[in-house]
Structure 1
Amino acid sequence: MNGLIDVRLTLHSQELVRGQDNGAREAQLRNAPSGLSHWGLFWHRLHTRKALLALTPEQLTDVGLTREQAREEGLKPFWRI
């Protein structure tokens, strides 16, 4: 291999590592249990979003959301973050 290919491989591997770090960070931001498959994550989102729609005004106040914010999040399709 020539030097240019080595540089490209090194840069690509660094991008992959950064992508894995970003993926872990995104999972933490979503508050999803770790180790879920894609389908498990979709299932988790579906159920938590349905539960969000069922919260009372007092419960929404406790979590710091307005009814409009809860409705907006709760009506998102399960495949969207």
Structure 2
Amino acid sequence: MITDENGNVALRKYRTINQIVTVGGEEYLFNTKANICLAWVKPEHVDAVLNIKRTCCGGNKKPAFTLADETAVRRWTNGGGR
């Protein structure tokens, strides 16, 4: 789990379309940079965001958000590159 200096957790969205997610009265903008859609989420809202599902082929439900890894956070923060 990657956290920032404020203790917020980096979550990555499956699709690279910007989206606002509201949890517990807080709005989180999942913004796309370097083909990665990511947002910093308060620890108390992480489980709620991770439980949001997307519909896939055949009506299957899969997670829409995952914990971001170090590489994704670095690329998103630096605007691409390695």
**TM-score (ref. length: structure 1):** 0.25
**TM-score (ref. length: structure 2):** 0.25
Q: Which has the higher contact order (CA 8 A, sep 6+)?
A: 2
Structure showing the higher strand proportion among its residues: 2
Structure showing the higher helix proportion among its residues: 1
Which structure would you say has the larger Rg? 1
